[in-house]
Structure formats: structure tokens, C-alpha cells
Amino acid sequence: MRIVRAMSKRNKRINWNLVLLLFIFSLFILSPAFAQEDTLPPSPPTDVMAKDTPNDAGGSITITWKKSADDGAGKNNVTGYLIYRSEEGDRGYKEIGQVAKGSKEFTDGNTKDKINYYYKIKAVNKSGLFSFSEPSPPATSKAQWFSSGRKNTLIAALILGGLILYFISQARAGKELFIRKIAGLDAVDDAVGRATEMGKKILYIPGTQDMDNVQTIAGVTILSRVAKITAEYETPLEVPVSRSLVMVTCREVVKEAYASAGRPDAFKENMVHYLTDDQFGYAAGVDGLILREKPATIFYQGAFYAESLIMAETGNSIGAIQIAGTAMPAQIPFFFASCDYTLIGEELFAASAYLSKEPKLLGSLKGQDIGKAIILLMLTAGILFITTGLWRGFDSLFIVQ
Amino acid sequence: MRREIPLILTATVGIVYIISFFIPHRPFGSVETLFSDWILIIAAFAIWLGALNLLRVSADKIYRKKKDWFYALVTILSFFLIAIIGFFFSRGSHFQDVGTSFDYLYRNVYNPLSATMFAILAFFVASASYRAFRARSWEATLLLLAAFFVMLGRVPIGDMISGFLPENIRLSEVATFIMNIPQSAGQRAIMIGIGLGIISTALRLILGIERTYLGGD
């Protein structure tokens, strides 16, 4: 009886092993390794054309072709294309690059200008079989003197530039220009005054980017005005910065401002000091300063990223008056929620002109405003033309390459 | 000359940059890369100015025993610790490789500290939102409503509670509409203003009308 039970158990085991073996075998049968190999090469790419890459500094040819009939269709076994180049046409082809299946273009960025190049495209399939296209007609690379895709940008820049220059000349001639009030900039004097009355410090944060950022430059110009007032009121000023070049520039600006206010003796080099280039390290440093020193007024003027809210909320928690200004669209809502005044985008760039009231600078603001009116007009015209179908191609006028 | 040379440099670089945008031909086409390289080189040297300033200001705080001078001491010690370990105990130029002492400090000290600061942002977003979304005026109420729909529409519960509504007015769709239409329109308006502001500022700098960044008016 025991022997019979053991036999039946073994049979069961053998059956399971058989099932397992069959399963593994079927996997092998279905696997690509066992798939039938291609014995014929793929169809070659056709219509290979080569031409100078437009709007560049030369040294580049763009090659285009029609895909192999077996790429995405037919036997659908093309794995990629290899690009070959020759200077002779009928021989001397060398591989210069490869692209994946489905590609129809390759840019050869390693050509010498004024030399004829011929190109062939090799389609390769899964079995390693291949076929060459016919060679392309000769092509030469050359540098262009004008980027034709940027014609519209040039026209827009000339119109805007012309407007700005015109209004600058008008302002120079003594014409009165109306500039709307900017609450955030009107509040600068009051904010400094408040710190003076409280006998507390003013903290000025000129953004977290370097001097090659135009927002930092705008922040530094506002610092000049703030420093002049602090010099006049004898209010302590501290400018912690996150870039060495910004430190040097801010120091120079503050020094000059103190000198022009007749208080060069009140200027101390350590007013402007470096913390760190690191984004959150800087935020931590500024937060520490805010919590320890408890300044009465804090300015945030320049380019900011995620650290904006960390600093502004800490400033808010100590009850400081805060005036922010940035052209980073994602940070504007944060400043808006945490600060008393926020200069939105263009207002940051207008600050220098607004605060100095210098006619030449005010003229540039006026030109900027007229430019905005023209853009508004274009937008309205675009909405009308596209919606009514009067001029479907209107939007293509504004595409920049 | 102290003013003139920087003004000439600014004008030259600015004009060459503009020309290179429209004329790809040599030498203009390659100046952008050239100037970017120069900026990198200058910034690399300038980093020492910042580092030395940090050390000087911190040392001064310790020497004068100013308020909270202990933090200045931590700054100086941390500065030298990471610099010495990076320069001398982290396989030379391979200091950034995985497994070096510098890498250990980077992963286990620097990264957690940075992540902590970033994480604090979540709490600040909550406190700022609480203040911003109080219905004090008509505009603030509108902002509150928009925020309510967007926040609710971005989480699964939004669609769950509005599941009985036709698909195109469920909360997720309302949130998408608010973000894609009114929000985008507002943001683009700000972007146009910023673009014009940048052009105007650039022109002022190139023409030498704006000189404040050189010190003085």
C-alpha cells in the first residue's frame, strides 16, 4: 500500500515537471532568439538630400531622406540608419553617425565650409543585414550673414528700440511724461523711515542670481536708492549676498551712495557680505539673520527661486515691513502672500527710473508702455483674425526660429 | 576713466550680443560661447572673494564676541572641514566619486540639511496660503474660490465628491480650466511686461543711460 502511494506521488511530481518543461520550451519557441532570422536586407532609404544647415555659423550640413519601406511598414525590421560621408562621391565613404529607426534627418556638424560632401544612408535590420541608399547630390556648408527666421524679432526690436529712443529724446527735450504710481516704490521712503524710528536694521536681499542676470542689475539699482536714504537717515543697512560678483558690485554701489549722501564715513565694508552660493544654505543664512537681528524693514529685489517664500515668511513672522520685487512669475504669488508690497515683473525694471525721476530713464518707461499698447493691439487683432477666419496665417508672423 | 571703461565694455558686449543673435556668421556666431566662458572664468576667481569675505566677517564676530558668535565659529569650522577633506582626503580630483570622504559629507550632511530647508517650505506655503486666502475683499474672495477649486480638483477626493456632475464640470476639469485659461492669461500678461522691461533695461544699459550698477547715479 505504502509502495503504491509512493508511486502515485512520484507520478504526480513527474507530471508537474513535464508541465514545467513544456512551459519553458514554449517560452523558448516564442522568444525572439528562436524567431526566424531575416535572410533579405531591408529596402534602402530613398531621396537622400543634403543641404547647408540654414541660419548657422557654417560647418554644418543637414541630410534628409525617405525612410526604408521596411521601417514602420513592410517587414518592419529596420533597427536604425548609419550615415556615411565622402568627399569624392563614388568612393571613400566613412561612417559619421547613426540614428534610430523612424528618423528622417541627420545634422552633420563637422564639415569644412566650401568643400563638396556626398552622403549615403545605410538601413540596418535585426539580422545585421543592410542596404545602402543612392548617394546624395553634393552639398557645401557655409555661414549665413543673417538669421532669416528671426526677421520678425528684428522688426519688433527696431520698433520697440525706436520708441524707447524717441521718448528718451522727448524727455531730454523737457517734455512732461506721465508715469503711473507704483505703490511698492512709493513705500520705500516710509519703510526706511520706519526702521529709523524703531532704531532697527534694514536688510536688503538682491536676489540669488549673479550679475549676468538683468533682475540682479535691477535689484542693485534699487539698492543704490535705498542706501542713499539709509545714509541720510543714519539707519543701519545689511546686504547679505549669495554671489561674489554681486557682493563686489553691491559694495561699490552702497559706497557711492553713502558718498553722494555726504556720509562716506558711515559706510562699512561689512555692510555687504557674502553668505554662500548654495540656494538653501543662503536661505538658512538669511533666516538666521532675520531671526537674530529682527530688522524693521526687509527688501527682496531681484531673481529668486523656491527660497523666496522661506525668507519672506520668516520676515513676516517677525513683523518686518517687506517690499519685494521679482520678474520670476512663479515667485510673485509667494511674495504677494508674504510681503506688504510687491513689484510685479516689469515694475522691478521700472524702479530705477521711477525712483530717480531722471527724464532720460522716464522716457524709456514711456517707450516701454507704448510697446505694450502695440502688443495689446496685435493680440486683439490676432483674436479677431483667427476667430473670424479673416487671416488664418496671422499667427505665423510671430513665430521665431 | 573709472566710469568710461565699464560703460564702453557694457556697450560693446551688449551690441555684440545683439548682433550675434541676428548674424550667425563668424566671428559673431561664436561670441556668446566666448563671453559665457569668460563669465565662468571670472566667477571662478571671484568665488575666493566671497569665501575670504565670509571668513573675515565670521572671524571678526568671534574676535569681538558679538551676539551669537558661536554660529560664526560653526561656519568657520565647517568651511575648513569640508575644504580640507575635499582637497586632501578624497582622492584628489576624484573627490566627487562615490565612496570618498567628501561624498560621505555631501550625502550625509549637506543633502539632509538642504532637504530640511526645502521641506520647511511646505509649512510656509500653508501659513502664506492661510493669510492670502482670507476673504477680506472681492478680489481676495475670488482668489479663495479659485484656490479652493484648484486644490480640490488636484486630489482624487475632488472628482469623488463631484462625481455626480457631468464630466466636463467636475472639479478636476474646473481646476484644469482655471490653470489653463485665466491663470495662463494672467501669467502671459506678466511675461509680456517682463519681456518689455528687460528690453528697456538692456537698452538703457547699452546706451549708458543706466549707470547705477557702476556705483552712484
Same domain, yes or no, for A343 and A380? no
Q: How far is B91 from chain A (nearest CA, A)?
A: 24
Which has more pLDDT, A12 or B121? Answer: B121
For the segment A163-177, the average pLDDT, to the nearest whole number, is 85
Q: What is the pLDDT of residue B31?
A: 83
Specify the DSSP element, H or E, that contains B22: helix B4-22
Cα dihedral: A235, A239, A245, A251 (round 10): 20
Q: Do B192 and A350 touch (CB under 8 A)?
A: no
Q: What is the pLDDT of residue A199?
A: 93
Structural domain tally of chain A? 3
Residue B99 within any structural domain of the chain:
no
The grid coordinates of residue A113 equal 565650409
| Interchain contact B67–A (C-beta under 8 A) | yes
Q: Do A164 and B215 touch (CB under 8 A)?
A: no
Which has more pLDDT, A23 or A322? Answer: A322
Out of A55, A337, A371, closest to residue B196 by CB: A371
Residue A19 within any structural domain of the chain:
no
Same domain, yes or no, for A190 and A302? yes
> How many other C-beta atoms lie within 10 A of the C-beta of residue B51?
16
Q: Do B50 and A214 touch (CB under 8 A)?
A: no
Query: Is A232's pLDDT higher than 90?
Result: yes
Same domain, yes or no, for A62 and A207? no
Which residues sit opposite A86 in a β-bridge?
Answer: A118
Confidence bin at A1 (pLDDT 50/70/90): very low
- Predicted model pTM: 0.81
Identify which of A202, A236, A232, A239 has the alpha carbon closest to the alpha carbon of residue A321: A202
Residue in B20, B110, B194 to test binding to A, most A beta-carbons within 10 Å: B194
Same domain, yes or no, for A225 and A331? yes
d(CA B204, CA A359): 12
Q: Do B114 and A144 touch (CB under 8 A)?
A: no
Confidence bin at A12 (pLDDT 50/70/90): low
3-state secondary structure of A400: coil
Number of H helices, E strands in chain B: 9, 0
Residue A6 within any structural domain of the chain:
no
The grid coordinates of residue B207 equal 546706451
Residue A196 within any structural domain of the chain:
yes
Same domain, yes or no, for A152 and A248? no
> pLDDT (tens digit, 9 = 90+) per residue, A35-68?
555 678 899 999 999 999 988 888 999 999 999 9
Strands of the A118-125 sheet, one edge to the other: A94-100, A78-86, A118-125, A130-132
For the segment A86-92, the average pLDDT, to the nearest whole number, is 88
The percent of residues in chain A predicted with pLDDT above 70, rounded, is 92
Identify which of A361, A337, A351 has the alpha carbon closest to the alpha carbon of residue A215: A351
The residue of chain A nearest to residue B41, with distances taken between CA atoms, is A245
* Residue-range definition of the domain harbouring residue B178: 134-204
Which residues sit opposite A239 in a β-bridge?
Answer: A272
* Residue-range definition of the domain harbouring residue A128: 46-132
Out of B21, B68, B210, closest to residue A352 by CB: B210
| Interchain contact B40–A (C-beta under 8 A) | no
The grid coordinates of residue A56 equal 548657422
Specify the DSSP element, H or E, that contains A78: strand A78-86
Beta strands in A217-356 (DSSP E): 237-241, 272-274, 297-301, 321-326, 341-344
Residue B107 within any structural domain of the chain:
no
Contacts of residue B19 in chain A, CB cutoff 8 Å?
none
Q: Do B47 and A338 touch (CB under 8 A)?
A: no
Confidence bin at A28 (pLDDT 50/70/90): low
Classify the C-alpha dihedral A60-A400-A368-A166 as positive or negative: positive
Q: Do A273 and B57 touch (CB under 8 A)?
A: yes
Query: Is A7's pLDDT higher than 70?
Result: no
Same domain, yes or no, for A327 and A369? no
Residue B11 within any structural domain of the chain:
no
d(CA A287, CA A317): 11
Out of B53, B194, B217, closest to residue A274 by CB: B53
Query: Is A123's pLDDT higher than 60?
Result: yes
Q: What is the pLDDT of residue B57?
A: 93
> In this structure, what CATH number is given to the domain that contains residue A242?
3.40.50
Q: How far is A22 from chain B (nearest CA, A)?
A: 46
For the segment A86-106, the average pLDDT, to the nearest whole number, is 92
Identify which of A243, A201, A207 has the alpha carbon closest to the alpha carbon of residue A223: A207
Q: Do A284 and B117 touch (CB under 8 A)?
A: yes
**Whole-number average pLDDT of chain A:** 88
Same domain, yes or no, for A102 and A209? no
Structural domain tally of chain B? 1
Residue A370 within any structural domain of the chain:
yes
The residue of chain B nearest to residue A272, with distances taken between CA atoms, is B53
Contacts of residue B197 in chain A, CB cutoff 8 Å?
327, 345-346, 348-350, 368
**pLDDT digits (tens), chain B, 217 positions:** 777 888 898 899 889 888 888 888 888 877 878 888 888 898 888 889 999 999 999 999 999 998 889 999 999 999 999 999 999 988 888 888 888 999 999 999 999 999 999 999 999 999 998 888 887 888 889 889 999 999 999 999 998 999 899 988 999 999 999 999 999 999 999 999 999 999 988 988 898 888 877 765 5
Contacts of residue A209 in chain B, CB cutoff 8 Å?
none
For the segment A90-105, the average pLDDT, to the nearest whole number, is 92
Residue A5 within any structural domain of the chain:
no
Query: Is A390's pLDDT higher than 70?
Result: yes
CA separation (Å) from A128 to A78, A123, A124? 9, 10, 6
Same domain, yes or no, for A347 and A273? yes
Q: How far is A244 from chain B (nearest CA, A)?
A: 5
Q: Do A273 and B48 touch (CB under 8 A)?
A: no
> In this structure, what CATH number is given to the domain that contains residue A124?
2.60.40.10
Confidence bin at A30 (pLDDT 50/70/90): low
Q: What is the pLDDT of residue A295?
A: 96
Same domain, yes or no, for A207 and A314? yes
Residue A30 within any structural domain of the chain:
no
Out of A58, A309, A368, closest to residue B128 by CB: A309
The grid coordinates of residue A372 equal 505694450
What count of CB pairs under 8 Å joins A to B?
Answer: 204
Provide the CB-side half-sphere exposure for A314 (13 A, CA). 24
The percent of residues in chain A predicted with pLDDT above 90, rounded, is 63
Same domain, yes or no, for A161 and A220? no
Q: Do B54 and A275 touch (CB under 8 A)?
A: yes
The residue of chain A nearest to residue B207, with distances taken between CA atoms, is A165
Same domain, yes or no, for A373 and A336? no
d(CA A182, CA A168): 20
Residue B181 within any structural domain of the chain:
yes
d(CA A242, CA A278): 7
Phi, psi for A56 (deg, rounded to 5)? -135, 180
Same domain, yes or no, for A279 and A325? yes
String of b and e for A318-350 (b: at least 16 CB within 10 Å)? eebbbbbbbbbeebbbbbbbbbbbbbbbbbbbb
Q: Do A361 and B210 touch (CB under 8 A)?
A: yes
